[in-house]
Amino acid sequence: QDLVMVGRTHGVHAEPITLGLKFALWYAEFQRHHSRLLQARKAVAVGKLSGAVGTFAHLPPEVEADACARLGLSPASISTQVIQRDRHAEYFSTLALVGASVEKIALEIRHLQRTEVREAEESFAAGQKGSSAMPHKRNPILSENLCGLARLLRAHALTAQENVALWHERDISHSSVERLIAPDSSILLDFMLARLTRVLKNLQVYPENMSKNLHLTRGLIFSQGLLLALIKKGLSRDAAYRLVQRPAMQVWEEGGEFAQRVQADPDISQYLSPAELTAIFDLNHYLKHIPTIFARVFGQEG
């Protein structure tokens, strides 16, 4: 919750966040997936014994209800010769959506493990080989594997949607497909979740690199705070933007500290006192509502 790092948008440094916020975001996403999986399981947990075209011509509905009850299923309210495949498409689509979130986390780890960033990385055991050719390599192979497997789940979800449209009251074009994708998708996601759990449990985190990267842009991450402070002083947004962008671009192109350039700029310092400028460059301003966010995600006890 309190481990500060830089937030990135478009891959470029934006404003301060904490590592805990990333984990809280993932937790909330998987809480939603839990609800989706329960709904998807409910959608496919139905049965039918309604006859060749769904009319109960030779068995009464009571037989279907009794058989389904014995199997822990609900009778489909209406069916043809088969349960309608929109139900199964929902299930496979849900698996693919969970897989996409697994990939989202794995991709984040891969980015954080890049040499230029190295804020976190997969654990690397003594004697482990990262590359057969380059002994120095420590590659995020587990996360890369998860990103690849997520593509299979999405492919299976698309295939399941192709199964929704059957001829009239039934054909068997769906059957051969489901024999493959049903066990494969279910087992695959189980494997992915187990592997992701292992990666997160053993994740190596480097606070010193987070701090170094946080200051890499020499204070530019505080530019929005300065912009808003000038607007509060009565400047139009466009005028304030131009005032802030000028020293910001100087830092990008010429170097130096953003705070020092701002303090030395008479067009800015005429509106903001030294104390006000110091407050703008205070990290705590950006982190003050994080406990509230955590309370929203985890409850008051979180």
Higher-confidence position of 302 and 192: 192
pLDDT of residue 135: 79
Give every CB contact of residue 281 below 8 A, 6+ residues apart in sequence.
Answer: 219, 222, 225, 259
Q: Torsion-angle region of residue 122: left (phi > 0), alpha (psi -120 to 50) or beta?
A: beta
Give every CB contact of residue 43 below 8 A, 6+ residues apart in sequence.
Answer: 87, 90, 91
How many structural domains is the chain composed of?
3
How many Å apart are CA 183 and CA 95, to the nearest integer? Answer: 12
Are the C-beta atoms of 120 and 109 separated by less than 8 Å? yes
> Is the pLDDT at 208 greater than 70, yes or no?
yes
How many Å apart are CA 185 and CA 187, to the nearest integer? Answer: 6
Residue 189 and residue 246 in one domain: no
pLDDT of residue 291: 95
Q: For residue 77, indicate whether it is catalytic.
A: no
Residue 298 lies in a domain: no
> Is the pLDDT at 68 greater than 60, yes or no?
yes
pLDDT 10s digits, 228-252: 999 999 999 999 999 999 999 999 9
Residue 292 lies in a domain: no
pLDDT 10s digits, 246-264: 999 999 999 999 999 999 9
CATH code assigned at 88: 1.20.200.10
Residue 131 lies in a domain: no
Residue 149 and residue 265 in one domain: no
> Is the pLDDT at 130 greater than 90, yes or no?
no
Catalytic residue among 10, 136, 168, 289: 10
Element (H, E) at 106: helix 86-112
Residue 239 and residue 173 in one domain: no
**Residue 152 domain boundaries:** 27-44+83-123+137-209
Residue 290 lies in a domain: no
Residue 156 and residue 247 in one domain: no
Q: For residue 88, indicate whether it is catalytic.
A: no
Catalytic residue among 34, 58, 74, 131: 131
CATH code assigned at 225: 1.10.40.30
Residue 200 and residue 181 in one domain: yes
Residue 128 lies in a domain: no
Confidence of residue 196 (pLDDT cuts 50, 70, 90): very high
pLDDT of residue 302: 43
Residue after which a domain boundary falls, among 178, 209, 240:
209
Residue 254 and residue 182 in one domain: no
Residue 226 and residue 113 in one domain: no
Residue 93 and residue 77 in one domain: no
Residue 12 lies in a domain: no
How many Å apart are CA 79 and CA 90, to the nearest integer? Answer: 17
Residue 68 and residue 116 in one domain: no
pLDDT of residue 1: 87
Residue 33 and residue 164 in one domain: yes
> Is the pLDDT at 210 greater than 80, yes or no?
yes
> Is the pLDDT at 131 greater than 90, yes or no?
no
- Report yes or no on whether pTM surpasses 0.85: yes
Residue 11 lies in a domain: no
Residue 141 lies in a domain: yes
Residue 181 and residue 231 in one domain: no
Residue 70 and residue 55 in one domain: yes
